[in-house]
Structure 1
Amino acid sequence: MSQYAAEVKQIIKSQKFVQLTANYCPDCVYANNIWQKFGVLNKILQFEIGGFDRATQQKYRDAFEQVTGSRNLPTIFVDGKVWGTEHDLHKYERKGTLQAELKKIGLI
């Protein structure tokens, strides 16, 4: 296991809520706007890869895929497992169930 994969394992186990994110990613901005809307942004560990060079970003994304099966920006983890992406947030918003889904996972 690479040092990146070992770090990723530790990161997703260290907090109940973790988001793989990048400051240049519009989908990540959308997700963070959702968290702000519900007042829970501070409850989610943001693993920000946007400040790394491209090679390091790829190593982290590869490590997230190796450890969790997802390299998508953003990916939201709950209790060390993939909960969803921005697609899920959009889906829950369209269905009107976003607040209920966030309650289910204990975020609100």
Structure 2
Amino acid sequence: MSQYVAEAKEVIASQKFVQLTANFCPDCVYANAVWQKFGVLDKVLQFEIGGFDKETQLKYRDAFAQVAGVRNLPTIFVDGKVWGTESELHKYETNGTLQTELQKIGLI
């Protein structure tokens, strides 16, 4: 098992709410704006890969894909499982159910 896969497993299991993210990613910025809007940004562990070189970023994304089946930025994990990406946040926001969905997972 590569160090990246081991680290991905450890990160996903380390907290209830985890986000694979990159500072250059507009969808990640959007997700973080949602967390800020609801006052929960500090509850979501940000696993930031944006500061790494491109090769390392790809290794982390591939490791998360191997562990969780998803390599999107952002990927949001709840209780060690993929909850979704910014697509789910947009969908819930558009449907007017975002607050309810965040309450269901215990984030708010």
Range of TM-score over shorter length: over 0.9
| Runs of 4+ deviating beyond 4 Å | none
Q: How far is 1:4 from its partner?
A: 0.4
Q: How far is 1:48 from its partner?
A: 0.2
Q: What stretches of structure 1 of length at least 5 have no aligned partner?
A: none
Q: Does 1:81 align with 2:88?
A: no
Q: What stretches of structure 2 of length at least 5 have no aligned partner?
A: none
Q: How far is 1:90 from its partner?
A: 0.2
Query: Secondary structure, in 3 states, of the residue corresponding to 1:107?
Result: coil
Query: Secondary structure, in 3 states, of the residue corresponding to 1:56?
Result: helix
Aligned residue for 1:30?
Answer: 30
Measured on the aligned residues, the alpha-carbon RMSD in Å equals 0.3
Give the number of aligned pairs. 108
Query: Secondary structure, in 3 states, of the residue corresponding to 2:82?
Result: strand
| TM-score, structure 2 normalization | 0.99
Distance in 1 between residues matched to 2:84 and 2:99, nearest whole Å: 15
Distance in 1 between residues matched to 2:3 and 2:47, nearest whole Å: 16
Q: How far is 1:74 from its partner?
A: 0.2
Distance in 1 between residues matched to 2:38 and 2:2, nearest whole Å: 36
Q: Does 1:106 align with 2:102?
A: no
Q: How far is 1:80 from its partner?
A: 0.5
Distance in 2 between residues matched to 1:82 and 1:39, nearest whole Å: 22
Q: Show CA shifts across 1:38-95 (max 9, x none).
A: 0000000000000000000000000000000000000000000000000000000010
Q: How far is 1:8 from its partner?
A: 0.5
Query: Secondary structure, in 3 states, of the residue corresponding to 1:52?
Result: coil
Aligned residue for 1:45?
Answer: 45
Distance in 1 between residues matched to 2:81 and 2:99, nearest whole Å: 20
Distance in 2 between residues matched to 1:21 and 1:3, nearest whole Å: 19
Query: Secondary structure, in 3 states, of the residue corresponding to 1:18?
Result: strand
Q: How far is 1:25 from its partner?
A: 0.2
